[in-house]
Copies of this chain bind each other. A is one copy, B any other.
Amino acid sequence: MTSEFTIGLHVLGFLTARGGEPLTSEVLARTYGTSPVVLRRVLSKLRQAGLVATRRGVGGGSVLGRPSSEISLLDVYVALTDEPELLPRHPGENTGPAQVLAAYINGIYAEAEAALLERLATVSIEQMDSEVRPEICAALEASRLVSVARA
Distance (whole angstroms) from the CB of A125 to the closest CB of chain B = 12
Taken together as a complex, chains A and B put the C-alpha atoms of A20 and B99 apart, in Å, by 24
Knowing A95-B143, A119-B112, the reply to whether A104 touches B131 (Cβ < 8 A) is: yes
**CB atoms of B88 and A13 under 8 A apart:** no
**Cβ of A112: which chain B residues have Cβ within 8 Å of it?**
112-113, 115-116, 119
| Contact for A102 among B6, B100, B116, B120, CB less than 8 A | B6
Knowing A32-B98, A33-B96, A97-B32, the reply to whether A6 touches B140 (Cβ < 8 A) is: no
Tell me if A37 counts as interface (CB < 8 A to partner B). Answer: no
**CB atoms of B97 and A139 under 8 A apart:** yes
**CB atoms of B101 and A33 under 8 A apart:** no
**Cβ of A10: which chain B residues have Cβ within 8 Å of it?**
97-98, 101
Taken together as a complex, chains A and B put the C-alpha atoms of A43 and B146 apart, in Å, by 50
| Contact for A33 among B98, B104, B119, CB less than 8 A | B98
**CB atoms of A13 and B139 under 8 A apart:** no
**Cβ of A109: which chain B residues have Cβ within 8 Å of it?**
116
Q: List residues of A whose CB falls within 8 A of some B CB.
A: 2-3, 5-6, 9-10, 13, 31-33, 73, 86-88, 90, 93, 95-102, 104-105, 108-109, 111-113, 115-116, 119-120, 123, 128, 131-132, 135-136, 139-140, 142-143
